[in-house]
Amino acid sequence: MATSLEDGHELVRMAAETGKLHAIVQNRRFVPGIRRIRSFIESGAIGDLTSIHCDFFIGAHFGGFREEMEHVLLLDMAIHTFDAARFIADKKPIAVYCREENPRGSWYAHGAAATAIFEMADDVTFTYRGSWCAEGANTSWESEWRIIGTRGTLLWDGADEFRAKKVAGTEGFLRKLTPIKVPAPTDRRRTQGHASVIADFVSAIHDGGKPETAGDDNINSLAMVFAAIESARSRQRVIIE
């Protein structure tokens, strides 16, 4: 969206003043798995959401500019996961503590790995563990997810595997669990990645609506990125503007 939060806010201001639509290609929130999780949480199948935990580990050998960037994982990739988590939770990000590192053996100049703890509204926690120089067991590009509610948990491998269980008993040290089906999304128009982003934007132009990835909403995901970078630099908890 922009190379700074200030520039992002300026884009939002200009769009509002000129009456123009401004949207971001956040294609990850239009992949089937992310829509599927959002619908599942909204159904109340595992109770109220309490936390989201996400792992992204890929040994990516891009070459070129990425291997020279500062904060390469947070600045160039993590926003996709952060935005997906914000969409899934449907909660405002409040604060973050982040540790960034460049592990031994990394072929990047800076910041190829990061661990972040986000505080979201309504006491929801979102944790992110990621690396672009983790060889040997790549996750999906969509990450691996553990979604925890007050009555159960959903696991998604970032590809085709969904597993969910909820509490079915009231006794014992570990309560009895029962599997829950995770229904597939029914609206295929909103599960086509980049194509769905573009269709959503074109529809907003024709119908006078607002794109789901409008700049004045996406600024919240951008704020998560820059707050995580600030926290990594300062080694302090940072409030998200």
In the chain the domains, ranked by start, together with CATH numbers, are 5-239 (3.30.360.10)
The residues, any chain, with a CB within 8 Å of residue 69's CB and separated by 6 or more, are: 75, 76, 108, 109, 110, 111
Most confident of 23-32, 120-129, 193-202: 120-129
- Cα 209 to Cα 90: distance, rounded to the nearest angstrom: 20
Q: State pLDDT tens for residues 111-160.
A: 999 999 999 999 999 999 999 999 999 999 999 999 999 999 999 999 99
Say if pTM beats, i.e. exceeds, 0.85: yes
User: Which stretches within 110-214 are classed as H helix?
Assistant: 194-207
pLDDT tens for residues 84-98?
Answer: 999 999 999 999 999
**Is the Cβ–Cβ distance between 228 and 117 less than 8 Å?**
no
